[in-house]
């Protein structure tokens, strides 16, 4: 069974690792190319956009893809919509792999906002020391509230032109530990954390540390997930794929 796995997430990497030794499923992992040195699993990979829905449709046909697994980041809505449209046009089966959102817990001081512009506005007019963990592509709204001091953490160093003034950058890739996150928040005298509600375990420690230090958090809410067959997490995705491979083989597809 030929599978195209849309990735860029911990879940997609876990599915790719599980598929590496599977003789019944031939999978290709697709990455957007946002990270300069991605960690590649032991299955074939391709990097870069397909060229919209038309390009993805062409890819699915040319590579005889039977199942499209959308394990993209919860904020990668364009790719998910393209996957939905391309699957509808080609009749290729599609599975969405969801990652549960982070939930507010007792002691949390979260301000939930709809997008990055609102996140920047929520920081207010008094200068604050901000720990910004929103990815290197979405810094522009913070450059327009330059009275705050920013510590920015991302997997790759952001372009200098995208940075708010006086920003300090930390280049690091998760998973992160609670104690180290707590030390980092204290060392930089952070008084507010800004994050997307990405969910998952790799980067949740910053929220636990913020709770322990009673720091406020500005959190960008998730966009609505695309419709369609959905599982939560890599293990359920593997169960779905193995079941589908077995039933396809039994039908002689």
**Interface residues with ligand NAP (CB under 6 A)?**
6-8, 30-32, 34, 49-52, 55-56, 72-73, 75-79, 82, 135, 137-138
Please answer whether residues 70 and 94 qualify as being in contact, where contact means their C-beta atoms are separated by less than 8 angstroms: yes
Cβ neighbors of 203 (< 8 A, separation 6 or more) are 133, 174, 175, 176, 195
Distance CA 213, CA 219 (A): 17
Q: Closer to ligand NAP at the Cβ: 19 or 31?
A: 31
CB of 185 to ligand NAP, least distance (A): 21
Distance CA 224, CA 40 (A): 29
Q: Closer to ligand NAP at the Cβ: 203 or 211?
A: 203
Residue in 104, 113, 149 with CA at minimum distance from that of residue 131: 149
Q: Closer to ligand NAP at the Cβ: 77 or 208?
A: 77
CB of 38 to ligand NAP, least distance (A): 8
Distance CA 66, CA 233 (A): 21
CB of 201 to ligand NAP, least distance (A): 15
CB of 63 to ligand NAP, least distance (A): 13
The separation between CA 206 and the C-alpha centre of its own chain, rounded to angstroms, equals 16
Q: Closer to ligand NAP at the Cβ: 79 or 215?
A: 79
């Amino acid at each position: 069974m030929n599978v195209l796995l849309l990735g860029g997430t911990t879940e997609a990497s876990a599915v790719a690792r599980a598929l590496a030794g599977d003789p019944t499923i031939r999978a290709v992992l697709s990455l957007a190319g946002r990270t300069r040195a991605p960690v590649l699993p032991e299955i074939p990979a391709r990097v870069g956009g397909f060229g919209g829905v038309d390009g993805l449709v062409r890819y699915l046909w040319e590579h005889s893809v039977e199942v499209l697994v959308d394990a993209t980041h919860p904020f990668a809505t364009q790719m998910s919509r393209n996957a939905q449209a391309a699957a509808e046009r080609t009749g290729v089966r599609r599975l969405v792999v969801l990652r549960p959102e982070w939930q507010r817990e007792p002691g949390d001081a979260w301000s939930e906002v709809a997008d990055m512009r609102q996140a920047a506005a929520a920081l207010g007019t008094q200068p604050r020391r901000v720990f910004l963990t929103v990815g290197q592509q979405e810094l522009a709204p913070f450059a327009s509230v330059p009275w705050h001091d920013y510590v920015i953490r991302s997997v790759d160093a952001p372009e200098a032109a995208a940075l708010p003034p006086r920003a300090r950058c930390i280049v690091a890739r998760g998973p992160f530990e609670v104690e180290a996150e707590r030390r980092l928040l204290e060392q930089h005298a952070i008084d507010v954390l800004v994050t997307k509600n990405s969910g998952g375990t790799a980067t949740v420690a910053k929220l636990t540390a913020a709770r322990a230090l009673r720091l406020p958090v500005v959190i960008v809410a998730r966009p609505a997930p695309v419709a369609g067959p959905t599982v939560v997490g890599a293990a359920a995705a593997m169960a779905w794929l193995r079941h589908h491979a077995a039933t396809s083989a039994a039908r002689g597809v």
